[in-house]
Amino acid sequence: MRVLGIETSCDETGVAIYDDQQGLMAHSLYSQVKLHADYGGVVPELASRDHVRKIIPLINETITQAGLSADDIDAVAYTKGPGLIGAVLVGACVGRALAFAWDKPALGVHHMEGHLLAPMLEDNPPQFPFLACLVSGGHTQLVAVEGIGQYQLLGESIDDAAGEAFDKTAKLLGLDYPGGPLLAQLATQGVDGRFKFPRPMTDRPGLDFSFSGLKTFAANTIAAHKDDVDADQTRADIALAFEQAVVDTLAIKCKRALKQTGYKRLVIAGGVSANKRLQQGLGDLMKSIGGSVYYPRNEFCTDNGAMIAYAGLQRLKAGEREGLAVQGKPRWPLTELAPL
C-alpha cells in the first residue's frame, strides 16, 4: 500500500509518500517560521491561510519527486488533530477531497501518534513494548506503548509543555521565534554551575511534569542580573542552567517510568527531541541501565508528512477508513485510539 500523508496541525506544511514495501519515497516540508517571527509566536489565522497557499503545490511537488502520478497513490492520510483547528481543517479538507476525487480511502491521523511512531522511519526502529517520552511545543507526556494503539498515559505536564517553556524562556532572553533551538544554541556558550535551576516535581512521587515554574524562575533570574557587566555571558549561563533543568527533569521522570514498566527501550519524539543535550542525557540514562534510546532524525523530530503517512498506513492496512464528513479535533487524547 502506498499512502500520501499530509500534516498541517500548526505552522509547518508537510507532505510525504510512504510505501509499505519501498519505505519513504518522497517528502516535502514548508515552514512558516519567517511568517510568524514578527509576532513572536504562531498566529492561527495566518497559519491557516499559509497552509491553503502551500499545500497543493507541495502535494504536486512530492508526487513528482517520487516519480508517481495520482493513480499510483492507494490512500490518503492527514492530520485530524490535535492542533490549531483552522490549520488542521485545511489539511483534512484537502486530504479528504483528494481521496474522494481519486476514489481512494482516506484516514484522519492522530498527530501525536505520528510523532510516537516517527522513529519507525529509521533503519533501526524500536521493537514493542517501549516507553515513549513525547516532548513538543504543545505536549509533554510519558506513554507506555505495548503496540500501535495500545497506549497507557503514565504522566503529562500539568501546565506548560517542555517546548512551550523553552520558547517562553527564550523570549525572556530576547531571542527570536522559534526560541527553543536558539536557546539551546546560546546554552552551548554558557558556564556550567553559575546558576542552579530547580528540577520541578522531582521531589515527590509521580510522573507528571510542571515547567511553568522554571519559566518564572528564569524571569526572576534575568531580572536580578539585568545590570551585569557581561550581559551576553549571563544570558548564556541562564540558558544553560534552564536547559539542564529541563533535561534533568525529563530524565528523572523517564527513569521512574522505566522502573515502573520494566521496559528497556525508550523513544523520544516531538520537536524537543531534536535537542542534543536531551538526546545525550537520555542516552546516558539508557546506557546506565543497559537499555536503548531511539529518536527520529532531526527533520522528522518536528512536524512532517512522513510520520503521518507512516502512522496512517498502519491503520489503513488494518482496515480503518474515514467517512465522507471532514472532521478536525483540536483536542484528542492519545488513549482514545483503537488498538491494532
Binding site, annotated residues for substrate: 134-138, 167, 180, 275
Structural contact between residues 142 and 254, judged by C-beta atoms closer than 8 angstroms:
yes
DSSP string, 244-301: HHHHHHHHHHHHHHHHHH---EEEEESGGGG-HHHHHHHHHHHHHTT-EEE---GGGT
Q: Annotated binding site for Fe cation, which residues?
A: 111, 115, 303
Question: Which of helix, strand or coil describes residue 208?
Answer: coil
Q: Annotated binding site, which residues?
A: 111, 115, 134-138, 167, 180, 275, 303
Cα separation, 36 vs 162, whole angstroms: 20
Residue 238 grid cell:
541562564
Residues in the chain: 340
Residue 153 grid cell:
498515559
Strand partners, 24: 18
Planar angle of CA 101, 103, 108, nearest 5 degrees: 85
